[in-house]
Chains A and B, each alone.
Chain A
């Protein structure tokens, strides 16, 4: 379990930076070499390479073998873990609240019937 948490720590740390998020956004559309990834940013290729290293250590990307281009591509695994993270807590309340919706409908139906009954009782008197 500790290693799963460590992995998640690394994933979140890597995602905390806007440049790295932008790089991941770009890679979601397909693999790309460093030169291309550096283009949209006012940043040198070595600076982009540093970001890529962080992403690679976090397991968010993999690098190709081609020594010249070393194209980067997205690895979906850690992102899925992040998605699972939100699930437990969210699901508990989401489902509870959906049930509360239904229950409130029931209660309101009852109340409306009761009011109707009170009114008709009243008119009899």
Chain B
């Protein structure tokens, strides 16, 4: 966050979806390309403290992907399959974090360019509302989006109160 000052939004949608939006200061072709191979993805996948220990990306519809990242003995495996690829507009893949095996989401990553900048919108559709909520580590109820916005305000007030 602090590095770029860019805002990412995470919005629950309906019962089973989560939408993440983020803008990048680069043309669409390039942002898309950065999503298409291990060579690229190893440079940015996951929180900074992890390094990508293993990566396999077969970038074609029906092809599999698998990324292992590791830090201080802690290891996470992510995997899935490409379902649809429309270069340079859209990638649809399945996404499974092996920390919660069998709970698979179908993610569509859409790339839109405007004035040389690219907005990436990822819509994740989970099998069940429980899966969506587990992924968000919550017992989130539908209609939370609004609650969430308001909650931010409360938390800000609480932080200030604690600080004073």
Contact = CB atoms under 8 A, between A and B. Distances in A.
Chain A, interface size category, equals 35 or more
- Interface residue SS majority, chain A: helix
Interface in A26-50: 28-29
Interface string B11-40: 000000010101011100011011000001
Interface string A68-112: 000000101001101111101111111111111111111110010
A84 B138 CA distance: 10
Contacts, number: 123
A117 B106 CA distance: 42
Nearest to B46: A96
B3 A101 contact: yes
A4 to B, nearest CB: 9
B137 A104 contact: no
Interface of B: 1, 3-4, 6, 8, 10, 18, 20, 22, 24-26, 30-31, 33-34, 40, 43-48, 120, 122, 135-141, 143-144, 147-148, 150-151, 153-155, 157-158, 161-162
Given A16-B144, A86-B148, 14 more contacts: A12-B141, A12-B147, A24-B154, A28-B157, A74-B158, A89-B10, A89-B18, A91-B47, A93-B8, A96-B46, A97-B8, A97-B22, A97-B44, A98-B3
